[in-house]
A and B are shown apart, each in its own frame.
Chain A
Amino acid sequence: DQQVKQNSPSLSVQEGRISILNCDYTNSMFDYFLWYKKYPAEGPTFLISISSIKDKNEDGRFTVFLNKSAKHLSLHIVPSQPGDSAVYFCAARVSGSARQLTFGSGTQLTVLP
């Protein structure tokens, strides 16, 4: 039973355009959401997060949107750069859960020059 789903295994975008990565969740107890970025042969690195009390969080070129009623979040990257090519994981945390994260299966983003 996948509680965090990333339905698009891959996404290709032209350099300079917007990349939109999507994530759906089923557990209404999730109160904190994160995006991680992973390059080959490296561990995931934290990118951006959002609390369930907000609907938007922005950090430079990266913006995360949360739609609680739809149990959906998305990561926008504007403008996309070739160095953004990586696997992006969505993750979620249940309140009071010893900070355990549940991860989605990831989306491979390729930014074409």
Chain B
Amino acid sequence: NAGVTQTPKFRILKIGQSMTLQCTQDMNHNYMYWYRQDPGMGLKLIYYSVGAGITDKGEVPNGYNVSRSTTEDFPLRLELAAPSQTSVYFCASSQHGRELFFGEGSRLTVL
């Protein structure tokens, strides 16, 4: 049982490039989330999904897009990368919303 898997673990982007952070879960959870964590800060919600085909914005959605075509996958797309998007990104899933299961994180640096 792998839980929540994120790829890649590390990535360096140049300003203006685009990329997709992949997230997949094998627990058949309905809810999925993308958070970012900046140094010395808590996790801030970027986007979330309550089921396949349904997504909504969180606290800091600007510069990102998501899709949820299946229950398992919830990719996060960064368009036109900016230095402000340098962060550690965490994907999480939840069945009943009482506790979230997190992936190991993806560290992104934009230069």
Residues of A within 8 A of B (CB): 4, 6, 9, 32, 34, 41-46, 49, 89, 93, 98-106
Contact = CB atoms under 8 A, between A and B. Distances in A.
A101 B98 CA distance: 9
B42 interface: yes
Interface string B84-106: 00000010101011111111110
A105 B40 contact: yes
A44 B42 contact: no
Contacts of A46: 99-101
Interface in B56-111: 56, 58, 90, 92, 94, 96-105
Contacts of B97: 93, 98-99
A74 to B, nearest CB: 17
Main secondary structure of the interface of B (DSSP, over half): strand
Contacts of A42: 104-105
Contacts of A103: 35, 42-44
Interface of B: 4, 31, 33, 35, 40-45, 48, 50, 56, 58, 90, 92, 94, 96-105
A32 B96 CA distance: 13
A81 to B, nearest CB: 23
Contact of A32 (B98, B104, B105): B98
B41 A45 contact: no
B52 to A, nearest CB: 15
Contacts of A45: 102
A47 B22 CA distance: 26
